[in-house]
Structure 1
Amino acid sequence: MTLGLLIRNLVYWLAVIVLTPLCFTALFVCAWLPRRRRHIFGKSWALMLLWVLEHVVGLKYRVIGQENIPDVPSIICSKHQSGWETLALQKIFPDQIYVAKRELLWVPFFGWGLWLMNAIMINRSDRSNANRRMQQQGLERKRHGFWITVFPEGTRIRPGVVGKYRPGAARMSKQLDMPLVPVAHNAGEFWPRNAFIKHPGEITLVIGKPVYPCDEMGPEAMMAQVGEWIEARQREIGGVGPCAHPDEKQARIALAHSA
């Protein structure tokens, strides 16, 4: 790690320290506003941090498949490798809320902001009640015009590793009649889980064609289709970042040599 990279990351963390209480305190003060109006505070926080990552740290990104975004509220099913996607998805897609673990409510400012921004907070140890909460609150969020973001593997997964794709988002899709939009990306190769240092480079994010609920396909089959698509794209875009899985790095090198 160079001194320049350390300084650029310190600037990013300074931005986090300054912007987080500023934006979310403003959100508290304006909590009386309609849901869609107060959503701007959290989204502004995400966009400003994305700007710092791109223009200070040098962590850029490109989006493939933006034409696949439906024109109706949908459920975003995204790979979860880092904190980057929780910021970037808010810029790439229309106004959205997250399905998140209940423990995040105790994180100062950020967790309280999630609550004020209408996130669906679930207890992951109580699956039956978590699914019921997702369906009930998901319908209410849809009525307000929000998209819903779900990380179907349930937690952040290291690059090159496949988690278990849980069918909760697909159940919600069928019950709420909302398309599933699969999203793959390699952000974890530049922003490892719980890492202080974010590395410069270019993240690739790929948006797939929506999967629409139908009577012929159950939730498990829907999620299997989404998961297979995501993992296929992960293999295509993986192996380029400094924190990539060694196997994916080797596959990328072999592909380059055979070209």
Structure 2
Amino acid sequence: MQYVRSLVFIGQMYVAMLVLAVAYFPWALASRAGAHAACHAYCRWVIWTLGWMTGLRCEVRGTPPADEVMIAAKHQSFLDIMLIYNAIPRGKFIMKRELMFAPLLGQYALRIGCVPVNRGKRGAAIARMLADVKAGRQEGGQLIIYPQGTRVAPGVQRPYKVGTAALYEQLGQPCVPVATNVGVFWPRHGILRKPGLAVVEFLPPIAPGLDRDSFMARLETEVETASDRLMAEAGFHADR
């Protein structure tokens, strides 16, 4: 039965994406504010329907930033993207370049200021990412990066990439770490959405000015420790 409920939820989620994208398109085309409004409306719809259709409730802890900061987040599934974005006023993501070509999703992502990155060429990708972020700084907002570069299932260890430190140094802004347990309930792959409480937690910001190694060590420790705590709260215990 939970599988059927999950399947129905996923189906209506994509229908809602199409409906809202078309409905908001004129405003999004005229103004970046319209694109943000469309994305926020979609996130709210998904979070609301997820709760009553599958029994998976969502919670945001900590203090979501409203000023210009870099957000470095744990990434376990599509759900943490929506929870983080919905909690802040003008989020924009560092995203893999392939998503540019996804119907609707890619167009709206570019409209809100997301920065596509080619993950296949590390040095060139970092240089281009830094240039694109610098060029888009006049738009303001909260820049979201996933330091591990991809979705990572609960219990799986994957290194934190140096591009996050390069952005931290270039921007000279506070970095807000974000932990999550959403992958326990909404996995990277598959249809089943498990009932429970999915959480993203905004942790205390890391002030600018740390050297690269100190920043990366602190970021990884804080995000992984808090994520392990949230997953344990959800009944999942990672082996470290």
Q: Given the two structures, how large is their TM-score scaled by the length of structure 1?
A: 0.84
TM-superposed deviation, 1:103: 0.9
1:1-259 equivalences under 5 Å are: 3=1, 5-66=2-63, 69-214=64-209, 217-241=210-234, 244=236, 247=239
- The runs of 5 or more residues in structure 2 that have no matched partner are none
The one-character-per-residue Cα deviations of 1:144-192 (angstroms, maximum 9, x if unpaired) are: 2211111100011110122111121222122122211111111110011
TM-superposed deviation, 1:30: 3.6
Relative to structure 1, is the Cα distance of residues 236 and 177 closer, same or farther in structure 2, using a 3 angstrom cutoff? same
1:204 aligned partner, one-letter code: V
Q: Hey, what's the Cα distance between the residues in 1 that align with 2:211 and 2:161?
A: 13
Relative to structure 1, is the Cα distance of residues 102 and 239 closer, same or farther in structure 2, using a 3 angstrom cutoff? same
Q: Hey, what's the Cα distance between the residues in 1 that align with 2:187 and 2:90?
A: 26
TM-superposed deviation, 1:246: 6.9
Q: Hey, what's the Cα distance between the residues in 1 that align with 2:197 and 2:67?
A: 29
TM-superposed deviation, 1:83: 1.0
SS in 2 for 1:181: strand
SS in 1 for 2:170: helix
Relative to structure 1, is the Cα distance of residues 130 and 247 closer, same or farther in structure 2, using a 3 angstrom cutoff? closer
Q: Hey, what's the Cα distance between the residues in 1 that align with 2:100 and 2:54?
A: 29
TM-superposed deviation, 1:107: 2.0
SS in 1 for 2:166: helix
Q: Which has the larger radius of gyration?
A: 1
Identity percentage over the alignment?
28
The one-character-per-residue Cα deviations of 1:82-126 (angstroms, maximum 9, x if unpaired) are: 111011111222320111101112222222322222210010012
Q: Hey, what's the Cα distance between the residues in 2 that align with 1:222 and 1:247?
A: 24
Q: Hey, what's the Cα distance between the residues in 2 that align with 1:176 and 1:239?
A: 34
Q: Hey, what's the Cα distance between the residues in 1 that align with 2:141 and 2:171?
A: 12
Q: Hey, what's the Cα distance between the residues in 2 that align with 1:141 and 1:234?
A: 30
Relative to structure 1, is the Cα distance of residues 158 and 186 closer, same or farther in structure 2, using a 3 angstrom cutoff? same
Q: Is contact 2:70–2:144 with CA below 8 Å preserved after alignment?
A: yes
